[in-house]
Chain A
Amino acid sequence: GIQVEQSPPDLILQEGANSTLRCNFSDSVNNLQWFHQNPWGQLINLFYIPSGTKQNGRLSATTVATERYSLLYISSSQTTDSGVYFCAVPVTGGFKTIFGAGTRLFVKA
């Protein structure tokens, strides 16, 4: 089945710094999502981005489907950005979603 790899696994930033998180996937996909899981466990949908680029405030995401990767950019990071960032893609030909292992981000004040 499709494999999803995220990097880096862990990231520590000073508040105000920028970062790029990467998601590689092993098969073509027709959609991709980025989620932020806050320290209370709630999973927040950041982007639904099967291709192209989207921006939402300090966050933006780019998916290059032909090259099988997606990037999540966080600019001017804040302590509230801490948590785990997951990318998720659908199983080929189905409706099930497979999650990457996540990037654990800690932003220091």
Chain B
Amino acid sequence: SAVISQKPSRDICQRGTSLTIQCQVDSQVTMMFWYRQQPGQSLTLIATANQGSEATYESGFVIDKFPISRPNLTFSTLTVSNMSPEDSSIYLCSAMTGGLGYTFGSGTRLTVV
């Protein structure tokens, strides 16, 4: 299966600032997915990113807060904008690769102070 490289692995940010998370897949994939995992919780899907079109956001998530780019079939970014302490979470990207289910990046552990 494919490998997804995600960075940064962790960051501590000031409230009101923005952070962009990058994911690089070592093969072309049609769809990429972005998840949020709040402390002690399960994973919640933020949005689905297709190349060449706007991302599709899940209920409770909006583009102004979590803008996503998908410039090609191997790369995507998620920006967490105007951060507050409530945005402190692990953010993960994912893609279906090789017909054997979904593979995940290593995650970005974000702390907002």
Interface residue A31 (Cβ < 8 Å from any Cβ of B):
yes
Alpha-carbon distance between A35 and B90 when the two chains are bound, in angstroms: 16
Interface size of B by Cβ–Cβ distance < 8 Å?
A: 22
Q: Judging by beta carbons under 8 Å apart, are B42 and A45 in contact?
A: no
* Chain B residues closer than 8 Å to A95, beta-carbon distance: 31, 48, 96
Q: Judging by beta carbons under 8 Å apart, are A99 and B42 in contact?
A: yes
Q: Judging by beta carbons under 8 Å apart, are A45 and B104 in contact?
A: yes
CB within 8 Å of A: which B62-113 residues = 90, 92, 94, 96, 100-104, 106-107, 109
Interface residue B19 (Cβ < 8 Å from any Cβ of A):
no
User: Known: A43-B104, A45-B102. Contact between A86 and B42, CB under 8 A?
Assistant: yes
* Chain B residues closer than 8 Å to A42, beta-carbon distance: 104, 106-107
* Chain A residues closer than 8 Å to B103, beta-carbon distance: 45
Interface residue A102 (Cβ < 8 Å from any Cβ of B):
yes
Besides A33-B101, A99-B44, 6 other A-B contacts (C-beta < 8 A): A41-B109, A43-B107, A45-B101, A45-B102, A95-B31, A101-B42
Nearest 5 A/B pairs, CB to CB: A48-B101, A43-B104, A99-B43, A33-B101, A41-B107
Q: List 20 A-B contacts (CB under 8 A).
A: A31-B101, A35-B104, A41-B37, A41-B90, A41-B107, A42-B106, A43-B92, A45-B102, A86-B42, A86-B43, A88-B43, A95-B31, A95-B48, A95-B96, A96-B33, A96-B48, A97-B45, A98-B45, A99-B43, A101-B42
- Spell out B's residues near A (CB within 8 Å): 1, 31, 33, 37, 41-45, 48, 90, 92, 94, 96, 100-104, 106-107, 109
